[in-house]
Structures are given as structure tokens and as C-alpha cells.
Amino acid sequence: MARTTDWFGESISLRCWTSSPGHANGFEKAGPAQPERLHSRASPNGKRKTILSSGMMKAARCRAVTVEVGVTIGAGNDTIYAQKSEIPSQSSNKMFLPPTTRTFSDPLSEILDVLQPSSYMFRAIDARGEWLLQFPGVDGLRCYAVTRGQIWIHIDGEAHPREIRAGGCLVLTCKHAIKLGSSMTRFADDAVGVMTAAPWGGVVNINGGGEVYGLGGFFMFEGQAAKQLLRSLPRVMQLENLAENAKLSVAMTSIMSELREPKPGGKLLVENTALCMLVLIMRQQLGTGDQAQPGWLQGLGDAKIGRALTALHAAPASPWTLASLASEAGMSRSAFAAHFRERMGEPAMGYLQRWRMLLAADQLLHSSD
């Protein structure tokens, strides 16, 4: 049975055979009547096995492959890497493209793609007077933004509370419990009871509201790949003057509007807009250059390390070496090794190995088989 892929940038058909012991896997082209068609020849033991999934692909890159783990097709540079799963058209399928293929890469998008949330919850807060809420520590990523007034937040383990003014936002990736309110001087109420009293995606009204308006929510993630990536983020990211970022301002306004006046389709709109808001916050954090903690945000914010990361993410299956990555960054091998470790908090080859493993873990998690 013919199978198709866009490996060479055009739709081609391909049949493959598996080997018997001592013989290689392979494929060969058909005759002159079908010059673009590839098909299998019989293996030495006479067995055939098709390992590419069917379906005509219109894109310029391979979008779906089905193959047993460890099977390699082709010879020389013409190699396809895959595992037993139908791979959706997303960033992580680059792990299974030919190693010599170089595609456009956006490392931030790819990293956040692996961080796809399994669940989320957002609510607006409309408050007045004195109030203070105690939130338990949770896994995942929490986000608090203020559009009117100001809010104080105290993170367990920190000496002093932080102030979030109108137009400001604070993102937490740590599991610590927090207190959130007008001040830290009064008794804290249980936030879970107060927040869940409002309908899903609704507005939590405190003391009649009217003075402070804000947004609070969280993203939950599943799988070790997402947890490892979260650990590489700064534990606290605080941004000011978000109104100066037109796209972020629109995203926040859209979420607030849907929470105040729910309409059909609002749940889906809030979910996707919240993801857009997360991307925009990360992007703005990159632009500040204020990432005290080594990690991929600091690496992407560095021009030279960013070039190496872009190249690495574009072709993670390529046979990268420290020297080839240093060349992408325009640095000497030794200088690149030291600079990469300083910015990323780990050696370059260690990061490459970890990213490959994260891609493989993400594929296993989201595989249909």
C-alpha cells in the first residue's frame, strides 16, 4: 500500500521494508513510469512492512509519520526519525524530520507548545475597602494583573510584600502560598471559599467593589516535560505598565470583558486569550533583560545564545556539537561554552540532550497510541 509524505517538499509515495538480521532497512525509487514514486523492495526474508502513515500532505514538511521506535529509513542524509505515533503538525515533530532539514524556528513558541496547559481557571476581582485572601501553594503557573487601583501580594518565604499597581502584572511559577489584598495588616480569609463562590469565569465581588479591579488565574500542566520547563523559569516575574503594550492591553481587556459579561463561546475565548496573554508576558519579560535566574528566558534574551537556541530548536535531531553551536552564535568554542552555561544555567550539550528528551516525552504524552 502506498503511503505519502512531504519529506522532500512535494507529495511523494513511499513504501518501506524492514530488515532481517544482518540486513539494512531501505527503500528504492520506482521505474521511469512513476519517477516521483518511491516504493519498497522485498527484504531478504521476503517480508514487507509499511511504516509511514497514509494521507496526502500539502505542507512543505512531513506532517505525520507512524513507525516503530528505533526504525530508520533511508541512507546517508536521507533519514527519517520517528516513533510509534501519528505526530500532529506542531513544533515537536521537528524531532522526527531529516537531521539536515533546517526550518524556521521560534524557540519561545516551541517551549510554550510543550507547556500546553491541561486546565486553567481565571476570575476577575472587584473589591473595595480592607480585604485579604490566603491562597494555598499549587503546582503550575499563576497570574495576577490589576487594571484599576492597586493590590499587595506577599509570597511565602519573602521578607516583604510586593505591590501590583494598575497596569501591572505578576506571574508565579513557584508553589509557594500567597496572600493577596488591599494590605497585609488584617486577618486573611480563605481564598478558595471566596473565589469558588463566584460562577466559573465570573467576577468575585468584595465589599461591594468599585475601587480595585483585577484578574487572577492559573494554568495547570501535566507531565514531567512541562514541570521541568516550569522549573527553568524565574520563580517570580513582575511587569509594570502593561498598558504600553497594545497587544497585551487588548488581551487583558478582552478577558475582563468576557468575565464581566459572559456571552456564548466566552469560555473558549477566555482560554485562548489567556494563552495569548501568557505569550505576550513572556515576550515582554524577554525585552526587559531582567532575568536574574539563569534559564531559557535569559538565554533567549541574549543575542548570541538566542541564535544558537534558534538553530538548535530548528533541527534538534541534527548532529550538533559544541563547535557547531558556537559557530551559530558567532563565538569561539570555549567562549560559547562559558557564556551558554552562564545564561542557561547548564552546559549547551546538556541542554540539547534534555530538550530532545522533553520532545520525546511530550510526544509519548500526546500520542494517540
CA distances from 143 to 123, 171, 272, 274, 277 (A): 11, 4, 15, 10, 10
The torsion angles phi and psi of 73, rounded to 5 degrees, stand at -110, 140
CB 260 within 8 A of CB 128: no
Does residue 341 carry a pLDDT above 60? yes
Q: Are residues 278 and 225 in the same domain?
A: yes
From 62, 68, 65, 71, select the one nearest 7 (Cα to Cα).
62
CB 254 within 8 A of CB 183: no
Q: Is 115 exposed, middle or buried (0-12, 13-18, 19+ CB in 10 A)?
A: buried
Give domain status of residue 334, yes or no. Answer: yes
Give domain status of residue 45, yes or no. Answer: no
Choosing from 285, 315, 346, the residue where a domain stops is 285
DSSP state of 357: H
pLDDT confidence tier of residue 160, bands split at 50, 70 and 90: very high
Q: Are residues 314 and 253 in the same domain?
A: no
Q: Are residues 280 and 350 in the same domain?
A: no
pLDDT confidence tier of residue 216, bands split at 50, 70 and 90: confident
3-class SS string, 158-210: CCCCEEEECCEEEEECCCCCEEEECCCCCCCEEHHHHHHCCCCCCEEEECCCC
Give domain status of residue 81, yes or no. Answer: no
Which cell numbers in the block locate residue 182? Answer: 488591599
Give domain status of residue 109, yes or no. Answer: no
Amino acid at 287: G
Give domain status of residue 171, yes or no. Answer: yes
Choosing from 285, 308, 341, the residue where a domain stops is 285
Where do we find the cell 475597602?
A: 129
CA-to-CA distance for 54 and 255, rounded, in angstroms? 41
Q: List CB contacts of 250: < 8 A, sequence separation 6 or more.
A: none
Give domain status of residue 122, yes or no. Answer: yes
Give domain status of residue 173, yes or no. Answer: yes
Q: Are residues 220 and 308 in the same domain?
A: no
- Classified as helix, coil or strand, 165 is strand
Q: What is the CATH number of the domain that holds 357?
A: 1.10.10.60
Q: Are residues 263 and 326 in the same domain?
A: no
Domain ranges, residue 348: 296-366
Q: Are residues 151 and 273 in the same domain?
A: yes
Q: Are residues 266 and 313 in the same domain?
A: no
For the chain, the domain total comes to 2
pLDDT tens digits for range 82-104: 322 333 333 344 444 444 444 44
Q: Are residues 174 and 321 in the same domain?
A: no
- Classified as helix, coil or strand, 206 is strand
Amino acid at 170: L
Give domain status of residue 275, yes or no. Answer: yes
What's the predicted TM-score (pTM) here?
A: 0.59
Q: Are residues 279 and 345 in the same domain?
A: no
Q: Are residues 133 and 223 in the same domain?
A: yes
Torsion, Cα 260 264 270 273, to 10 degrees, reads -120
pLDDT tens digits for range 230-289: 777 778 888 887 666 778 878 888 888 888 787 888 888 888 888 888 888 877 777 555
Q: Are residues 140 and 265 in the same domain?
A: yes
Q: Are residues 174 and 319 in the same domain?
A: no
Choosing from 285, 319, 337, the residue where a domain stops is 285
Q: What pLDDT score does 227 carry?
A: 72
